[in-house]
């Protein structure tokens, strides 16, 4: 941590950290993880770019602001800067397939609010690949530290953490690209913090990805406002009416600066193996492992018992989903898909899949048990077969989490599966290669433009 960070309050310390972070400060492992986050982010955003809600958001942009020159990932249309950022953040979270920082005390989808800001700014000024990676790390560390400080209580009382802390992370990343001073970036964090929002009431609707898009859009706005001299609170995080006091019943302010500059939360990031709520993934892994080991199919199954973490049972408790968005947060649906398919894909979490009678019939076989002793990344699944035998699998860390990570090859495979259907195999390969070589480019906008869908 720098001397200026040590001497200031918590908000100012975070601002100083983001403003002063340099590429040379980043360990090789952190640089590599930032590229992994980039390739995952681009892949899931491109995959969602043709979905009806993104179509609608592009129309909203055209109606409200008219044309603009900024890239909307995966599409041929462009938009004004704020609406390109909004659309790209929205698309990145729409399929619930994006990266997940998920320790015991928070859950943050860290890329969706941050990369869109960097993409747009790179198209408005010269930004090198190294500067882009540095800005991403600054934003990611800021939002994840704030998420951990707000704690699980912040989520439990109804806030969507990606929407709230994503505002501050996006502002930090924008401030780093714009080379704001620590003081000016403190003002940007203040403006971002007072806009921080995202209510869990909208889960199961397009309101959830809107949180990520608005976090990105508002974070950019906050940084540009601060650059133009607009002031805000200098203690938006720790003040008596700040984020931690107002939005959490059990904050832990010490987590904001703990190991700042030496402990990298990005190294604990996770990348989803399946396109739905991450709390269902341990049970999916267990079912897929049991099928691989014992060779049964869904028709052989009499009953399934899935024991999961209490939060997982609550958040994914939609036992009879009627829409694709509901299906993403249905553990019974996820288990049914794992019994029927080689592995869950985006098409298994659509409106038609939610109403599919075959999937629905298998959902009826699944019992979900809540167990507070089971971790968020763990599950125990017992499958009772029609011949009277029962088989059990315990998962301690689901695929894609830090202790069981997707390899670079698996991450690239996921990227290709997401991008090739939309942009073509050749374009997908070129884009993947460019993302993996980000630190070597002098013009990050060149990578951004490779995400466009050509006529």
352 falls within a domain: yes
Q: Do residues 256 and 109 both lie within one domain? A: yes
Strand 366-370 with 301-308, pairing: parallel
Q: Are residues 436 and 352 in the same domain?
A: no
CATH code where residue 51 lies: 1.10.4100.10
Question: Which residues have a Cβ under 8 Å from the Cβ of 357 and sit 6 or more positions away?
Answer: none
In a domain, 402, yes or no: no
pLDDT computed for residue 454 by the predictor = 87
Do both 283 and 184 map to the same domain? no
Identify the pLDDT of residue 6.
Answer: 42
Residues 160 and 189 in one domain: yes
In a domain, 403, yes or no: no
In this structure, the answer to whether residues 268 and 288 fall within a common structural domain is no
- Nearby residues of 263 by Cβ (< 8 Å), 6 or more positions away: none
Domain membership flag for residue 400? no
Examine residue 455 and state whether it is found in any structural domain, yes or no: no
* pTM > 0.85: yes
Q: Are residues 120 and 9 in the same domain?
A: yes
| 266 and 284 both lie in a single domain | no
Q: Do 118 and 141 reside in the same domain of the chain?
A: yes
User: pLDDT tens track of the chain, all 455 residues?
Assistant: 443 444 459 999 999 999 999 999 999 999 999 999 999 999 999 999 999 999 999 999 999 999 999 999 999 999 999 999 999 999 999 999 999 999 989 999 999 999 999 999 999 999 999 999 999 999 999 999 999 999 999 999 999 999 999 999 999 999 999 999 999 999 999 999 999 999 999 988 999 999 999 999 999 999 999 999 999 999 999 999 999 999 999 999 999 999 999 999 999 999 999 999 889 999 999 999 999 999 999 999 999 999 999 989 998 999 999 999 899 999 999 999 999 999 898 899 999 999 999 999 999 999 999 999 999 899 999 999 999 999 999 999 999 999 999 999 999 999 999 999 999 999 999 999 999 999 999 999 999 999 999 88
Q: What is the pLDDT of residue 8?
A: 59
Residue 98 counted as domain residue:
yes
247 and 334 in a single domain? The answer is: no
pLDDT of residue 204: 81
In a domain, 203, yes or no: yes
205 and 256 fall within a common domain: yes
Q: Residue 315: which domain range?
A: 278-395
Number of domains in the chain: 2
Same-domain pairing of 230 and 302: no
Q: Helices 161-177 and 207-227, interaxial angle, to 10°?
A: 30
* CATH code for the domain of 347: 3.30.1330.120
Based on the fold, state whether residues 7 and 116 are members of the same structural domain: yes
Q: Which residues contact 266 (CB under 8 A, 6 or more apart)?
A: 30, 33, 34, 37, 110, 137, 140, 141, 144
161 is a domain residue? yes
């Amino acid at each position: 941590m720098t001397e200026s960070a040590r001497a200031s309050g918590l908000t100012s310390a975070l601002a100083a950290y983001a403003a002063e972070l340099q590429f040379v400060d980043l360990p090789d492992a952190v640089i590599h993880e930032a590229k992994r986050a980039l390739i995952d982010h681009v892949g899931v955003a491109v995959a969602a770019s043709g979905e009806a809600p993104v179509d609608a958001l592009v129309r909203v942009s055209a109606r409200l602001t008219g044309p603009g020159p900024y890239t909307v990932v995966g599409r041929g249309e462009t938009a004004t800067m704020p609406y390109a950022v909004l659309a790209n953040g929205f698309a990145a979270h729409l399929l619930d397939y994006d990266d997940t920082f998920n320790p015991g005390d928070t859950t943050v989808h860290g890329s969706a609010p941050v990369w869109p800001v960097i993409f747009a700014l790179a198209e408005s000024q010269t930004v090198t690949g190294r500067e882009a990676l540095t800005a991403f790390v600054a934003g990611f560390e800021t939002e994840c530290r704030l998420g951990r400080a707000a704690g699980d209580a912040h989520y439990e009382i109804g806030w969507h953490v990606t929407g709230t802390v994503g505002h501050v992370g996006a502002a930090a990343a924008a401030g780093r690209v714009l080379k704001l001073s620590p003081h000016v970036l403190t003002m940007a964090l203040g403006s971002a913090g007072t806009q921080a929002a995202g209510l869990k009431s909208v889960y199961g609707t397009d309101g959830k990805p809107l949180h990520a898009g608005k976090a990105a859009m508002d974070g950019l706005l906050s940084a540009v406002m601060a650059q133009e001299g607009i002031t805000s609170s200098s203690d938006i995080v720790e003040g008596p009416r700040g984020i931690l006091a107002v939005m959490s019943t059990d904050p832990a302010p010490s987590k904001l600066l703990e190991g700042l500059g030496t402990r990298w939360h990005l190294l604990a990031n996770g990348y989803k193996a399946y396109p739905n709520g991450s709390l269902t993934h341990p049970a999916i892994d267990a079912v897929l492992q049991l099928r691989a080991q014992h060779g049964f199919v869904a028709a052989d199954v009499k009953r399934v018992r899935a024991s999961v973490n209490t939060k997982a049972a609550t958040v994914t408790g939609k036992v009879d989903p009627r829409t694709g968005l509901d299906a993403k947060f249905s553990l019974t649906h996820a288990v049914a898909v794992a019994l029927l398919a080689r592995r869950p894909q985006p098409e298994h979490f659509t409106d038609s899949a939610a109403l599919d009678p075959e999937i629905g019939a298998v959902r009826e076989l699944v019992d979900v048990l809540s167990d507070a002793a089971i971790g968020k990344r763990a599950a125990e699944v017992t499958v009772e077969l029609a011949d009277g035998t029962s088989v059990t699998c315990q998962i301690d860390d689901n695929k894609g989490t830090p202790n069981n990570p997707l390899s670079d090859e698996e991450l690239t495979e996921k990227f290709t599966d997401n991008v090739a259907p939309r942009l073509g195999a050749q374009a997908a390969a070129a884009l993947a290669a460019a993302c993996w070589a980000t630190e070597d480019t002098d013009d990050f906008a060149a990578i951004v433009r490779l995400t466009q869908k050509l006529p």
